[in-house]
Structure 1
């Protein structure tokens, strides 16, 4: 018994030592696991940080074409004063010179949809910059009104390419959680360009008339050089690559703009389904324009929303406010070119500052609340401007009220209708329609802008500047109703989820029609 007890005690001691040894090993394993987890977390955080920086850089570079549009809008408002003095052009020629860029840009927008589907989003951005740069150089060196118009036509085509492709490209590379802010970047750069144009007017207004406007227009060529460098940084859209069946390249791009390999594969699979890789033959034989001209209920509602918001963005008079701000302030009672151009700088500064507010709010508050604030605020300011010009013109109170109303109008525009217009129109369409449907919306925007810009002086002569802005106020009231009935909330949804929102609403509409038809049949049977 004693021998057996001693043996058992020995075994117990040995087992205890073994447990201590295993416990130590487990402890070391747990410590190694903790260290590995910490290293993995650090690597994950680094990748997230790098991904965020890369996506922001791509959005910035893709938006540089928008600086060209903004600069042209801003600089032409002051340059036209010196062009008229130098080339002795008529009032009608002034209207045509200013408005023709928006009209011609519809050609670039229409071609841009087809071009971006053919050569890719990235190289369409490059083409836009090249065409605009050519037109800008012709304008700066133009010896006559005819040559100036030729340069204006080229610049318009380039701008048409640029305004439709930048939001589409950014929407396709951005994560859902930040897509609203990032897709607003083109509008930020438009505002920055407008401010730079105003500042250029003010800085170079002291030069002789035959030199000042050429320098003003020539400075606008500088962003094109930066765009050329940007092409070596930004990738092609992964969604376009998937449509082209270049899956490996799409995966490489997705690895740069997503936080983990798991997300890359999930997103790639989602895009492949949306792109219809499994039904490539079906999509290849399907005419995109035929589908848009004879849309089903979901696509019809997408087109109403996307094209409608683009048109409302312009018919509320924002481009005429910017182009003709010196005319508006002159009508209010400000005299002297330097004073007029200084007042326009205040407008440009306000417009640029408030677009930054939209960037911080668009993915937090959502699209629809900001659109309501924007359109209601614009309505109040437009009516305020009309009243100030009608009843307080050339009085100190009238001048102050006019400046506040114009600045308020562009501020409310910048926090909602300005940036969100491009966000909504670039994210609501399915992939097979996105480029060309967005181009169609951009055409509506450019035509509306061009018609108003080319007729503004004639209209104001017929019904006064005050009457013109009163009409803009009424149109802005209609924009409030349009937002309420036609614009859904898309905050936080992926592009593929947004497509389902319209599909579900289309199905709901179909079901309501079925119910109504059934009720009608039953009523006829009873009667």
Structure 2
């Protein structure tokens, strides 16, 4: 395709090298013969920290010519008028009113993206909710094993109490509980890249649901602990594939302005699964020897709607674009957006950004893409940030409660029934306090939620540990332990709960999205396995107070890591994040340490009226309604 100077893409390509900023003069041939300046930003080293719209420096005439070629090439001539209007809106999103041929309905549609941003098609909500139900499998299994820990070790010959092999059996119980996370981290997550490549997002989700349906039923009929361990390994294959695919699928289908709020439904359903698992534990607690079998086996239930409904969802438009199936991408966007204009605009904008994104790396094989997670600067920064938030989810200590709350409350002198009811209370708090994140994650941002909640989790966990010093004969002993565990869950659920999977699904370029998400989820579930294996022995050796104090310190460590290494991603399209993660880590760290931290101290401690210079500069990119709000 030739540009306005007559150069072909092959002529221009050698000029685009890995320099900090390059400038190319592009003479437009519209009526006024204006000259535009196209400033190329290196997506591996964005020292200027600018976020750029790839269409902004093209003249309207050039955009219209490019769109016409695009439509002819990909069989979209029948929607060419909508594509032209959509491309011009994408070129200058803050002045969409000046685009020719915009009808009153078109103007209302674009306005509603800010004033009624939750007014979205039913198929979008159906897709997000149905797929996120898959997260309930993981939550339900956590709590199923949590309740089963009170009885399955004795039933399968690995008792932890009054036994000369108690230490060995404590490790075995931890390993059995960790089975799904071991399999997820070692294999399940890494299946995501090849399975997504060949079968698409929906095919990968269907395959994961098959494992999540069969494995819990197998767990319920096991006769020995090795059999139980194997069935839980099979469950891990489904959990890893599901956890690596569903957040990506949801993120790729959702508009930027509400992406966080919808993609975090993954955490909402995980929390709901935890709550339902605790309900199931209570429901079957008096069924005698089969109670643990019912507690583990009931986790198959959330997989049923996923198996049945996933192919009623539109496939990811970005996956179609990656496969050069542009017409199908438009049909998918048409189902996921309110109007044809929005679908056409998003299609061409995504397509244009992905063309720029391809300068980061080509289409290498699976092994090459994995190596590039650590060698390509832009991708490496996403790898660091996603790994940080995923690791922090385990460092905060939530899973010592989700996996072992019944055991913890039992050590607080609770009966079996009291321990299960206290665990049920934890599950309820965890679920209810996930809802605020739906409305705050895209308003305050991912970083703000994390930085606020980690200090709160640290002190509540420390307080819960010190409550074990209250004499056990006092009724306040169990009550205080439960209170601070509930407060811990209340701070976790709107912060570190929804952010890691939402964040990791956003930050990688399309070329590395599957393998990048595999890395992130493997990091999370791999450390979950370590936690599950070690915590029974940690409780025995360090006492609950020592164990809780240890995780309180890890919360502080995680806070520092997030402050320095995790950039904000709210309200940016997935392709615009390429510019954010092109900013070198040292520049981001320097800005946080020497500008953000002193500003915060002066504003909130010394109470001074000071302003903070933003790190990122927006060049021709809509600021997601901020400008429009000012105009109104």
Return the match for 1:75 from 129, 132, 144.
144
Which segment drifts farther, 446-455 or 111-120? 111-120
**2:126 maps to which residue?**
57
Cα distance, 1:292–1:41 mapped onto 2, change above 3 Å: closer
Return the match for 1:199 from 274, 279, 283.
279
In the alignment, does 2:402 pair up with 1:322? yes
In the alignment, does 2:412 pair up with 1:332? yes
Which segment drifts farther, 78-87 or 146-155? 78-87
Q: How many angstroms does 1:102 deviate by?
A: 1.1
Contact kept in structure 1, 2:153 and 2:173, CA below 8 Å: yes
In the alignment, does 2:390 pair up with 1:310? yes
Which segment drifts farther, 144-153 or 450-459? 144-153
Cα distance, 1:506–1:379 mapped onto 2, change above 3 Å: closer
**2:255 maps to which residue?**
175
Contact kept in structure 2, 1:100 and 1:454, CA below 8 Å: no
**2:458 maps to which residue?**
379
**1:348 maps to which residue?**
427
Q: How many angstroms does 1:276 deviate by?
A: 3.5
In the alignment, does 2:288 pair up with 1:218? no
Contact kept in structure 2, 1:133 and 1:221, CA below 8 Å: yes
CA distance in 2, matches of 1:284, 1:70: 35
Q: How many angstroms does 1:262 deviate by?
A: 2.8
Q: How many angstroms does 1:44 deviate by?
A: 11
Q: How many angstroms does 1:258 deviate by?
A: 2.1
**1:291 maps to which residue?**
372
In the alignment, does 2:197 pair up with 1:117? yes
CA distance in 2, matches of 1:50, 1:250: 22
Q: How many angstroms does 1:39 deviate by?
A: 11
Question: Could you list the per-position Cα deviations for residues 211-254 of structure 1 after superposition, in whole angstroms to 9, with x for gaps in the alignment?
Answer: 22222223222222211221232111110110011111100011
CA distance in 2, matches of 1:466, 1:281: 48
SS at match of 1:415: coil
**1:189 maps to which residue?**
269
Which one has the bigger helix percentage?
1
Cα distance, 1:263–1:205 mapped onto 2, change above 3 Å: same
Q: How many angstroms does 1:277 deviate by?
A: 9.1
Return the match for 1:444 from 520, 523, 542.
523
Question: Could you list the per-position Cα deviations for residues 13-55 of structure 1 after superposition, in whole angstroms to 9, with x for gaps in the alignment?
Answer: xxxxxxxxxxxxxxxxxxxxxxx95899699989998843221
Return the match for 1:473 from 552, 557, 561.
552
Contact kept in structure 2, 1:315 and 1:452, CA below 8 Å: no
In the alignment, does 2:299 pair up with 1:230? no
**2:179 maps to which residue?**
100
Q: How many angstroms does 1:266 deviate by?
A: 2.4
CA distance in 2, matches of 1:471, 1:288: 36
- What TM-score, normalized by structure 1, do the two folds share? 0.84
Once the two structures are superposed, the pairs formed by residues 7-18 of structure 1 within 5 Å of their partners are: none
Q: How many angstroms does 1:144 deviate by?
A: 2.1
Return the match for 1:420 from 486, 499, 517.
499
Cα distance, 1:215–1:255 mapped onto 2, change above 3 Å: same
Q: How many angstroms does 1:305 deviate by?
A: 0.7
Q: How many angstroms does 1:123 deviate by?
A: 0.9
Structure 2 residues without counterparts, runs of 5 or longer:
1-102, 159-168, 592-632
SS at match of 2:311: coil
Contact kept in structure 1, 2:139 and 2:270, CA below 8 Å: yes
Return the match for 2:212 from 123, 132, 143.
132
Contact kept in structure 2, 1:245 and 1:277, CA below 8 Å: no
CA distance in 1, matches of 2:589, 2:496: 30
CA distance in 1, matches of 2:351, 2:268: 32
**2:231 maps to which residue?**
151
Contact kept in structure 1, 2:388 and 2:566, CA below 8 Å: no
CA distance in 2, matches of 1:373, 1:154: 37
Return the match for 1:84 from 149, 153, 160.
153
Cα distance, 1:190–1:249 mapped onto 2, change above 3 Å: same
Question: Could you list the per-position Cα deviations for residues 368-399 of structure 1 after superposition, in whole angstroms to 9, with x for gaps in the alignment?
Answer: 22112211110111111121124555532232
CA distance in 2, matches of 1:41, 1:182: 23
Cα distance, 1:137–1:510 mapped onto 2, change above 3 Å: closer
Structure with max Cα Rg? 1
Query: How many residues of Structure 1 are paired with residues of Structure 2 in the alignment?
Result: 474
Q: How many angstroms does 1:114 deviate by?
A: 3.0
Cα distance, 1:277–1:249 mapped onto 2, change above 3 Å: farther
CA RMSD across the alignment: 2.7
**1:266 maps to which residue?**
345
In the alignment, does 2:521 pair up with 1:458? no
Contact kept in structure 2, 1:138 and 1:151, CA below 8 Å: yes
In the alignment, does 2:513 pair up with 1:434? yes
**2:94 maps to which residue?**
none
In the alignment, does 2:427 pair up with 1:358? no
Which segment drifts farther, 79-88 or 100-109? 79-88
In the alignment, does 2:252 pair up with 1:252? no
CA distance in 2, matches of 1:143, 1:353: 37
Cα distance, 1:147–1:278 mapped onto 2, change above 3 Å: closer
Contact kept in structure 2, 1:140 and 1:217, CA below 8 Å: yes
CA distance in 1, matches of 2:553, 2:590: 35
